């Protein structure tokens, strides 16, 4: 199985670097600047469980490298940020064969409609990842804790040969991976948790532990989680009790230093996925007639940030 990975940042570089080290045929499709960086110093992952270095990763440069000769790539792993999705679709299009599957690891759900419209529903798998990692200014990928998981599956709940093949491929790497028979529900469950985490940590500019220590912090966090879960239920994907309780535990653990990566984006003055993670959820709440006042405040806060950032 030949794997093309769009991006070699914190997510794409981490998971696909481990796959390449395990002997999987991985090619990274990157921009020119990142291609030069990887050609000069290789792909480096700094991990509490052991560092990893790949001296000469296989590279294609977006918009510059010629499409591959048949056979084409079997799977494209899409690891871009939501605000880069249009550019990402343009970049991968020349490298797709008739049977190439696309596995997006983006947050939220809106990207599925856009990928379906461009490439066809039959190509697009469901999936998500859970990893706390960041790309350092020097180009290293730093894994921040021991969470590293990919979940994927056919969106109709079947277990076809391409998912089975992908499961075997993922099992070679040291991170956790799992094929799901209900991937859309699991994607909604992650979205509920992430929207709650991003909404609170960005709105309050602090970690989970900082927020919980405030007088109203835990109550506000649980209110936001309840709003997001209600929207998911209205969409037909109510989070399972175990998943909801797990999210509540993550979001209310005293002393936790956990924050959303979106807060790190704000702190460095970068763009965020606010519209994709929070704004889209607000729009769905309005369509379903669900009241979500705290979610609306959190989404508005991020929109104000983006507009102020645009002026500067």
Nearest to 114 by CA among 144, 91, 86, 136: 86
3-state DSSP call for residue 180? Answer: coil
Length of the chain: 312
Residue 84 CA neighbour count, 13 Å, CB half: 18
CA–CA distance from 43 to each of 15, 20, 37, 48, 56 (Å)?
A: 12, 10, 9, 17, 8
- 57 burial via Cβ count (<10 Å: 0-12, 13-18, 19+): buried
Residue in 49, 58, 81, 190 annotated catalytic: 190
Nearest to 269 by CA among 300, 298, 310: 310
Nearest to 196 by CA among 264, 146, 152, 252: 252
Q: How many CB atoms lie within 10 A of CB 47?
A: 19
The answer to whether 81 is a known catalytic residue is: no
- Which residues on adjacent β-strands are paired with residue 52? 45
Strands 25-30 and 58-61: parallel
Question: What six digits make up the tokens of 248?
Answer: 């509540």
Catalytic amino acids?
190
């Amino acid at each position: 199985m030949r794997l093309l990975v769009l991006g070699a940042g914190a997510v794409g570089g981490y998971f696909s670097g481990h796959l390449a080290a395990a002997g999987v045929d991985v090619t990274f499709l990157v921009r020119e600047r990142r291609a030069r960086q990887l050609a000069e110093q290789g792909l480096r992952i700094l991990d509490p469980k052991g560092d990893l270095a790949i001296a000469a990763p296989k590279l294609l440069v977006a918009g510059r490298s010629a499409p591959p000769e048949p056979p084409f790539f079997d799977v494209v792993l899409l690891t871009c940020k939501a605000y880069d999705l249009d550019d990402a679709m343009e970049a991968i299009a020349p490298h797709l064969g008739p049977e190439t599957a696309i596995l997006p690891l983006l947050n939220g759900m809106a990207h599925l409609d856009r990928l379906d419209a461009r490439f066809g529903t039959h190509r697009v798998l469901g999936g998500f990842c859970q990893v706390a990692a960041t790309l350092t200014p020097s180009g290293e990928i730093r894994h921040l804790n021991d969470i590293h998981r990919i979940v994927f599956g056919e969106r109709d709940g079947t277990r076809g040969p391409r998912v089975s093949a992908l499961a075997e491929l993922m099992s070679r790497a040291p991170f956790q991976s799992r094929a799901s028979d209900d991937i859309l529900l699991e994607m909604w469950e992650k979205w509920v948790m992430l929207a709650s985490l991003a909404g609170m940590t960005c709105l309050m500019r602090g970690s989970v532990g900082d927020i919980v220590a405030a007088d109203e912090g835990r109550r506000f966090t649980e209110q936001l989680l309840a709003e997001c879960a209600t929207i998911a239920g209205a969409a037909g994907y109510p989070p399972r009790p175990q998943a909801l309780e797990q999210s509540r535990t993550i979001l209310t653990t005293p002393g936790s230093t956990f924050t959303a990566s979106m807060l790190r984006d704000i702190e460095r003055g970068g763009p965020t996925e606010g519209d994709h993670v929070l704004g889209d959820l607000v729009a769905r709440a309005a369509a379903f007639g669900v009241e979500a006042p705290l979610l609306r405040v959190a989404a508005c806060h991020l929109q104000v940030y983006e507009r102020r950032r645009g002026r500067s």
